[in-house]
Amino acid sequence: MRLIFSLFVSLLHIAQYGKPFKLHDFDKPAKNSNINSPSSSVKVLQEDFIKAHVDRASYRLIRLEKNGIEILLVSDPNSNKAGASVNVGAGSLHDPENFPGIAHFCEHLVFLGTEKYPIENDYESYISTHGGFYNAFTELTNTNYFFEIDADFLYGALDRLAQFFYAPLFLEDSVRRESYAVDSEHKKNLRSDDWARHEVQKLTYNKTHPIIKFSTGTLQTLNTDPKSKGKNITDEVRTFFQKYYVSRSMKAAVYGKESLDELQRISVEIFSQIPNKEEVSEFKSSPLDGKLGISGGNQLYLEFPIPNQLPLYKSHPLSYLRYILTFEGQNSPLKYLRINNYARSIRLEYIHIHEGADILTVILDLDSNQALKYENTIKAFFECINYYKGIGPKREVVEELITTQNMNFNYRLEGTISDYLLELTVAMKNKHISYEHLLSSTILKEYNESDITNLLNALTPLNFRASLGLKSDTINFNQTEPYYGTKYLESTLNVTFLGTLQNVKPEEKVKLGFPQNTYVSRLPNITMEKLDDPPIRPVLYRESELSSLWYVYGSYFHAPRGTITVLFRNPMPHLSPSENVKLDFIVTYLRYVLEAESYYSSMAGTEFYFDSLYHGLVMKIDGYTDKIMEIFDTLMKTIHRLSIHYHDFYGLRDDLIYKYLSSSFLRPFERIKVESKRTFMVTYRNPKELAHEAHHTESDELNAFIYDFFTNLHIDILVTGNIPPEDVLHISYMAEAVFETRYILPSEFINARAITLENDSKYFRLFNVTDPKDPNSAIHYYCEVTDITETKEISALNVLSRIMNQPVFDVLRTKEQLGYLVRSSYVQWAAVAGFQIMVQSERQPHVLESRINDFLKNFLKYLDNLTDEEISHHVNSILNSQKNKPRNMLEEAKKMWSKIYHRTYDFDTYNETVKNYKFLKKNDLVDLFKRTLYYDSKVQRKKFSQHVSSFLARDIFNVNDIPFDKLYSYLSQIGVSVPNQQLKEIFLVSHDTTTFIEKLADYMVKNNSINGNSEDKKKQYSTGIYTYLTSEYSSQKKIFEEQLGKLIDDITEFKTKSTLSRALFSPLLVKSKSK
């Protein structure tokens, strides 16, 4: 999600299943499409691209002459996944004045049925049924749609996607319901500092520029306000779609296992349906002026209008600027800012708003006690800028960047297909990029002194604006942003102060310089082992009482890279919160002391990190073969010398406490996930407990722990990729030699355990939101199902959870509009497996639980109606995902490492998995559902829900849940006539319950004869309606709460009395080496 200017991401991600459907002819490739016919003529624009050394795909760029759509075809015969991305030149800047958020709203609505596929959830059902996912987001001038799917089903998914841009239905009922989804999405972000800050920044921009408009949309802007003014929302959406969703602004990328000719035939047939329309003109004015805006937070934002960067894709002057301003180590601007307490960090964000409006934002994190002295920070920043202007661009810095970026491009770690296609369609939107550079547009290609100089010269005190996030009681925040409620102050920057900045330079004693990266890989000729298939089982290459070394030489990916993963296994950290904190402290310190090494090695394409886990300290390195051993030696020597001086200790302790306390103030949806883990996992710690322990930890205690930890170890190592055997043995020997350690005993190799629930049990926990102004509540609804050793039931649960995912979303999110965030999935706590549903909503949790219960009651009928053919689709999709080849070396190593970390060593389980799934019958699914998930089951059902409740509107109905029939009866009893239809009309123009009561009382006064003052009567009516609705809500709440089960107030006591699961364990620990 882009948090600067491109904020309007609509996460419509649906994971893993859809409603039942019949296979149609369009699931198969088109036959004998004549791509040379006049109606579908094609121009091939490019076939020869600069691409990565490891890229095995072939490419072709075409244009449909009929409608101007450009399509990049990507053929990868080895891929078992396919995908597509379509970028449309319509975004939030195109929102009409009286409909803020309509571009974002339109993005939502095209998913809800088309003329060819009128069923509302057909697209999501088709994609998730075939092992896929999809997403969409709206930016300032673009909207992007993309999906990924099992390779055999590209045609059906692509055809459905293309219909979005040809014939969406925009049904009245769908439009009405989806306005609630957009409103819920907005309220999800309501308490986000980043979103609130961005909205304040926009308000202080040039008032004539469209960027100042609110862009997400709410129920008011997209539904109730337009209706109250007599406007037809659906007509407005259709008008927007017809005007801005035009073919000449569309770019598409299609990825499949088919040949380029076949992909071209499919794409031409599908995308030629979209009618020919010309692109609308671009915007002209600039959004910036020279002002200071102050709001909450402790960050300083310096915004500069800069030259258009899109034509400069070869010289990338921004890469140079980012490198010299943000590099770590001696003589860096960052070091200068930190030493003088001007800023703790610096980062750059760039946004191309439209032609002629590029903005560079410099973000400086301030200490709270320095925030009011922001002028010192601004002055220090310009001192650094003026220094680099005076020195001028350095060719050797650019040449270093060219080397590292080309290396990282040629041997890149592939991500998901959908992310790659998104990157390609973004590049296609840049009309300045030559076709041959489309795949390599992000890397530096040449040194251009004038481009760098022009960029540096644009960073001038004569042309910038500042925004200061500041938490202070001494400043009069005299304005309020209307959608997020953020207080802010807007003023003009001091002219005298600005005049002093023009020629400021650092003091003589301040030594600024340029980065020098010793980790840049030069890659001499090395032997690379290419494996025909991804490795499944590593070799136990060396074993002693102190360490186990697992090794895979070579890789499915022919690249000079490797991975090293080391676990310093020690049972101490999970024995108590105090030990847990001390291990976290070690990780914090290692990250701090190795900050410069991490920065430079990451820039050069070799990354490392440390983490504290249940079993101890984990160290991971992945990167180029000629540098990975150097970094390994550096890290091991640092650990060997590990001792924390009290000068560093207190600042790091404050950072750690802040981290713990921050995790206590999570939004409801994140909070329920944390509380669920705390409920079910035996040793999971409360962040507040950890903060308390950290506050009482001293440096001498920590150093004593460091000694104890590293003298009582077992070291597990996994090495993969093109790292030669002699280096691998060095890793093992060095790991043992660095530590004078005794080995840990077999009894200390115990994996984590979880609690188990008894049959026919119902429990719930209740929490209040941490932010009293957050309107959202949330629920985590969990049913325990089986132990993971019950392989047949585990297989059935996996299929069942995949079947349920899409109906859960369709019912609870799309149809009932309970909230924007609705998720369901298989979940595993240690050796216990279950099914979970999570919802964030403005409804209170007891209401959400009642709706989930209703869903589980009704789902049995849905399950009964599934055919064997439909079930086989789910089974095949799961098996295909098991066979998926890794996208990169990290994925290659990840699965093997999981088995080593948990000491199960069951590396190859595919054949057993196939057997379990192939013998599954529909009766197995129905039986498992009836016993463990069906709401009315009284035997094996085990339910535990976590409720996080908002303080807002917790004692009255949500406007969508008002019982109109009962309200009608109440009004009749007090002698007031309000037709039922009129109640519904008032509801349709009310965005919340308070507004509904006000509008209803107003109608009652205007349409009924009254004696006395009309305002007094209106107040009397409002009070009476409110009292009635709160009373009715209270009665209904009592009924719902009786169904929740037993309230658990003390989770520690509950866990103490609960039965524990077994731990993950392998009955056959591997003791023999594979040769």
Distances (CA, A) of 227 to 95, 222, 231, 675: 18, 9, 5, 41
Distances (CA, A) of 600 to 36, 400, 604, 621: 52, 11, 6, 14
Of all helices (H) and strands (E), which one includes residue 613? strand 607-613
Q: Which of 733, 517, 743, 515 is nearest to 629 (CA)?
A: 733
What is the chain's mean pLDDT, rounded? 89
Q: What is the pLDDT of residues 165-223, one digit of tens each?
A: 999 999 999 999 999 999 999 999 988 888 888 888 888 787 888 888 899 999 999 99
CA pair distance 511, 506, nearest whole angstrom: 8
Q: What is the pLDDT of residues 409-423, one digit of tens each?
A: 999 888 899 999 999
CA pair distance 489, 382, nearest whole angstrom: 24
Q: So what's the architecture of 755-952 in CATH?
A: 2-Layer Sandwich (3.30)
Q: How confident is the model at residue 664 (pLDDT cuts 50, 70, 90)?
A: confident
CATH topology of domain 291-393+447-500: Cytochrome Bc1 Complex; Chain A, domain 1 (3.30.830)
Higher per-residue pLDDT: 1019 or 742? 1019
In this prediction, residue 463 carries a pLDDT of 87
Amino acid (one-letter) located at 118:
P
Of all helices (H) and strands (E), which one includes residue 535? none
In this prediction, residue 786 carries a pLDDT of 96
Asked if the model's pLDDT at residue 108 lies above 70, the reply is: yes
In this prediction, residue 654 carries a pLDDT of 92
Q: How confident is the model at residue 356 (pLDDT cuts 50, 70, 90)?
A: confident
Per-residue H/E/C for 376-389: HHHHHHHHHHHHHH
DSSP state of 812: I
CA pair distance 671, 777, nearest whole angstrom: 10
In this prediction, residue 289 carries a pLDDT of 59
As a whole-number percent, the residues of the chain with pLDDT over 70 amount to 92
In this prediction, residue 1065 carries a pLDDT of 66
Higher per-residue pLDDT: 921 or 574? 921
CA pair distance 350, 362, nearest whole angstrom: 9
> Which residue ranges make up each domain of the chain?
8-271, 291-393+447-500, 539-748, 755-952, 959-1039
Among the ranges given (431-445, 554-568, 833-847, 882-896), the one the predictor scored with the smallest mean pLDDT: 882-896
Asked if the model's pLDDT at residue 646 lies above 60, the reply is: yes
842-850 average pLDDT score: 96
Tokens of 776: 């959202």
What residues does 137 pair with on adjacent strands? 9, 144
DSSP state of 306: E
Tokens of 557: 């990916």
Q: Which of 601, 261, 551, 556 is nearest to 414 (CA)?
A: 556
Q: How confident is the model at residue 522 (pLDDT cuts 50, 70, 90)?
A: confident
Tokens of 529: 């082992």
**End-to-end CA gap in the chain:** 47
> Quick one: 1042 exposed, middle or buried, by C-beta within 10 A (0-12, 13-18, 19+)?
exposed
What residues does 1000 pair with on adjacent strands? none
Asked if the model's pLDDT at residue 156 lies above 90, the reply is: yes
Asked if the model's pLDDT at residue 20 lies above 50, the reply is: no
In this prediction, residue 337 carries a pLDDT of 93
| DSSP class per residue in 734-751 | HHHHH---EEPPGGG---
Amino acid (one-letter) located at 234:
T
Quick check: 384 and 341 in contact, CB under 8 A? no
Q: What is the pLDDT of residues 35-74, one digit of tens each?
A: 444 445 899 999 999 999 989 999 999 999 999 999 999 9
Q: How confident is the model at residue 1010 (pLDDT cuts 50, 70, 90)?
A: low
Say how far residue 288 (Cα) sits from the centre of its chain: 30
Higher per-residue pLDDT: 298 or 97? 97
Asked if the model's pLDDT at residue 807 lies above 60, the reply is: yes
Asked if the model's pLDDT at residue 379 lies above 80, the reply is: yes
Among the ranges given (276-290, 644-658, 862-876, 973-987), the one the predictor scored with the smallest mean pLDDT: 276-290
In this prediction, residue 32 carries a pLDDT of 38
**Cβ neighbours of residue 1009 under 8 Å, at least 6 residues apart?**
none
CATH topology of domain 539-748: Cytochrome Bc1 Complex; Chain A, domain 1 (3.30.830)
In this prediction, residue 51 carries a pLDDT of 95
Quick check: 625 and 561 in contact, CB under 8 A? yes
Q: What is the pLDDT of residues 283-314, one digit of tens each?
A: 766 676 555 555 556 789 999 999 999 999 99
Q: Which of 263, 193, 180 is nearest to 219 (CA)?
A: 180
1051-1075 average pLDDT score: 71
Neighbours of 911 (CB within 10 A): 8
Neighbours of 636 (CB within 10 A): 18
Of all helices (H) and strands (E), which one includes residue 367? none
Asked if the model's pLDDT at residue 843 lies above 80, the reply is: yes
Q: How confident is the model at residue 1069 (pLDDT cuts 50, 70, 90)?
A: very low
In this prediction, residue 329 carries a pLDDT of 86
Please check whether the two domains, 8-271 and 291-393+447-500, share a CATH topology.
Answer: yes
In this prediction, residue 250 carries a pLDDT of 97
Q: How confident is the model at residue 909 (pLDDT cuts 50, 70, 90)?
A: confident
Asked if the model's pLDDT at residue 5 lies above 50, the reply is: no
Quick check: 841 and 692 in contact, CB under 8 A? no
Query: Beta strands of 749-881 (E only): which ranges?
Result: 755-756, 761-768, 777-787, 821-829, 832-841
CA pair distance 841, 669, nearest whole angstrom: 9
As a whole-number percent, the residues of the chain with pLDDT over 90 amount to 65
Asked if the model's pLDDT at residue 1046 lies above 80, the reply is: yes
CATH homologous superfamily of 8-271 equals Metalloenzyme, LuxS/M16 peptidase-like (3.30.830.10)
CA pair distance 2, 80, nearest whole angstrom: 30
CA pair distance 22, 6, nearest whole angstrom: 39
Asked if the model's pLDDT at residue 100 lies above 80, the reply is: yes
- Global pTM? 0.89
Neighbours of 434 (CB within 10 A): 11
667-676 average pLDDT score: 93
In this prediction, residue 28 carries a pLDDT of 41
Token match 């731990």: residue? 1063
Amino acid (one-letter) located at 659:
K
> Nearest 5°: phi and psi at 905?
60, 20
Distances (CA, A) of 477 to 290, 468, 473, 508, 644: 19, 12, 9, 39, 43
CA pair distance 130, 257, nearest whole angstrom: 16
Among the ranges given (188-197, 525-534, 749-758, 1027-1036), the one the predictor scored with the smallest mean pLDDT: 525-534
CA pair distance 73, 959, nearest whole angstrom: 48
Quick check: 298 and 375 in contact, CB under 8 A? no
CA pair distance 275, 258, nearest whole angstrom: 26
In this prediction, residue 471 carries a pLDDT of 67
In this prediction, residue 747 carries a pLDDT of 74
Of all helices (H) and strands (E), which one includes residue 70? strand 70-75
CA pair distance 281, 93, nearest whole angstrom: 12
In this prediction, residue 1 carries a pLDDT of 32
> Quick one: 349 exposed, middle or buried, by C-beta within 10 A (0-12, 13-18, 19+)?
middle
Q: How confident is the model at residue 258 (pLDDT cuts 50, 70, 90)?
A: very high
Token match 């010192």: residue? 376
